[in-house]
Every structure is written in structure tokens, then in C-alpha cells.
Amino acid sequence: MQKETEMTTLPQKVEMRNPGMALDLDWVRRVQANTSAIERRAATLPGRRSVKKDYQAAWLCKAVSCIDLTTLSGDDTAGRVRRLCAKARQPVRADLLKALDMQGLTVGAICVYHDMIAPAVEALDGSGIPVAAVSTGFPAGLSPFHLRVKEIEESVKAGAREIDIVISRRHVLSGNWQALYDEMRTFRAACGEAHVKAILATGELGTLRNVARASVVCMMAGADFIKTSTGKESVNATLPVSLVMIRAIRDYYGRTGAKVGYKPAGGISKAKDAVTYLTLIKEELGNDWLDPHLFRFGASSLLGDIERQLEHHVTGRYSASYRHAMG
């Protein structure tokens, strides 16, 4: 890691939106994905760059600031959400942050179901940490369309500043790009001032080319972020999928000048994996995307492992992993 990558970890007070554009079907049809080349490139990523000592600690603190701390369980309670929000405000032990000179570090957002928005908003009052709500019939996205739109509107009214929507996979699988565009455009409008993350459920889209084309269409329709997965699929975030989506973001930025964020979700639980993803972002998109306004991890267990690694950096020893578990 070069000196230029020393980074602040507090979110910048900048609001970035993707205005979208008219659907360009010629552009969509030209989008391809060389699967073998993508897989070869992705396979080299974990061993490409070694980040050690103070640089590693700085990158891990950056990863913390980009986490959407998430609870999406059927047995969620207001008490569990309040505990998660307390962790969001103080994600790493105060003594470790003081030793690292990282006081004030928080996560990027709290992500919950609609019913848990109210306790999350109350618990985060004054923190500046946004509440994100999963919506549109998450995770399958198969409820009646008017109810999916209404769910967005209700979550925004309840105080969610970010909405994670799920697309209709059938539009991608059948190549109905107009339907996907219209759906995403409607969801974007229902969000109002709330930022919208489009969950592609990449493990269910069949091919990397479908992932690339769905990414472009959702960005054309105004998605502020594109996100890999709900975390409920059998295959969630992977490096090949991430490479495809990140390059779609790069291409979209080059053509339109609009910066769209990226969120890998599901299956990222180790600190070393977080560094790999941040390295990928830096190499493919540049330092502007190393910021919670343009990059998020959809994870919760990841935070526990990062805290253990930071403790080892500061004290030279590891604590038991159960000490960092959340529930």
C-alpha cells in the first residue's frame, strides 16, 4: 500500500446521486463478459498485494467505515436493533481506536427490515449514521408491484435514508431490459431523496454477461449503488462478479460522468477479504470510491474479525472470537 492510501475514516458530508439516463438498448446489447479472463484476473487478487502493520490497520479501519451493519432475521427485535446501533456508533473498542488515533470511527449504515426502522432511527439519533431498509418484497421480489412501490414509500416515511431494493430476476433472465429499466426507474422515483441500492441477486442471474447488462440497465435507471446479493442466495458476493460490476460502474462513469456506488454482500466475513475488496476498488475505480458514499460491505460478522485483527495490531495478541460476536 502506498502512502497516498492513508485515509480518513469519517464519512464525508457529500451527497452524490446518479440522475440516470434514457435506456440505451444498443449499449446494453454491446455489453459482454469474458468469463475465463475475468476468472483469471479475480484469482490473482488475493495474493497481488500484501498490506502490513500500520497500513493494514488503516485499511481495516476504512473497511469498518464502509460496513452496512445488518440484521435481517425473522426473530429480530427492537432490543437487538438497539444493540446493533450501539455497535454502529462504537464499532471498535475505544482503547483500540485511541491507540490507532481513529476516534470517531463509525460504520457506514445500519440495514434492517421495515418494521425495525423506527427503533434504529431512534437509537442512531444525532450520530449521522443512516438507516437503510431492505424493500420491494426482499429477498425474492415477487410481491405485487404496487405493494413493492408502497413498501419503499413507507420505509422512506419511517426515516430510512437508503433503500435496498431487489430487482425482478425474470426480466434479466428473459432479456426484457425495458421492463427492468421501467421497474428500477419507478423504484428510484418512490425513494425520493433516499439513496437507492439495486440488489441484482447475481447468484440467480445465470451468466456474468447477464450481471454486466443488469448492472448497466439499473444504473441507466438511476440506481445510486449496485449490490451483488440479498445474502439469502446460495451464491452471494464473489470476486468475479465484483470485477464485472465494478467495470460496469467504471464504463458508466466514463460515458456519463456519474459515480455509482458498489456493495458486495453476503459471504464476506474475514478481514483479509475486506482488504482484497478494497484493493480491487482502488485498482479498478480509484481512490474516490474508497469512501462509504461509494462503497459498502453488506456484512455483520466481518466487523468482529476486523476488531480482532486491530486488537492484535495494537496489543500483539488475539482475544477469543466470541467476545466480538453481536446478537
Three-class SS string for 221-287?
A: CCCCEEECCCCCCCCCCCHHHHHHHHHHHHHHHHHHCCCCEEECECCCCCHHHHHHHHHHHHHHCCH
Partners of residue 134 on adjacent β-strands: 164
Contact 132, 109 (CB under 8 A): yes
Contact 216, 245 (CB under 8 A): no
Provide the grid cell at 286. Answer: 480509484
3-class DSSP state for residue 196? strand
Distance of CA 170 to the CA centre of its chain: 23
Q: Which domains does the chain have, with CATH numbers?
A: 33-324 (3.20.20.70)
pLDDT in tens, the chain (327 residues): 333 344 444 344 446 799 999 999 999 999 999 999 999 999 988 876 567 788 899 999 999 999 999 999 999 999 999 999 999 999 999 999 999 999 999 999 999 999 999 999 999 999 999 999 999 999 999 999 999 999 999 999 999 999 999 999 999 999 999 999 999 999 999 999 999 999 999 999 999 999 999 999 999 999 999 999 999 988 899 999 999 999 999 999 999 999 999 999 998 999 999 999 999 999 999 999 999 999 999 987 899 999 999 999 999 887 765 555 555
Distance of CA 321 to the CA centre of its chain: 24
Name, in order, each residue with C-beta under 8 angstroms of 81's C-beta and a sequence gap of 6 or more: 71, 110, 112, 116, 119, 120, 123
Contact 4, 287 (CB under 8 A): yes
Active site residues: 164, 227, 263
3-class DSSP state for residue 50? coil
Provide the grid cell at 79. Answer: 432490543
**Rounded Cα gap, residues 327 and 71, in angstroms:** 9
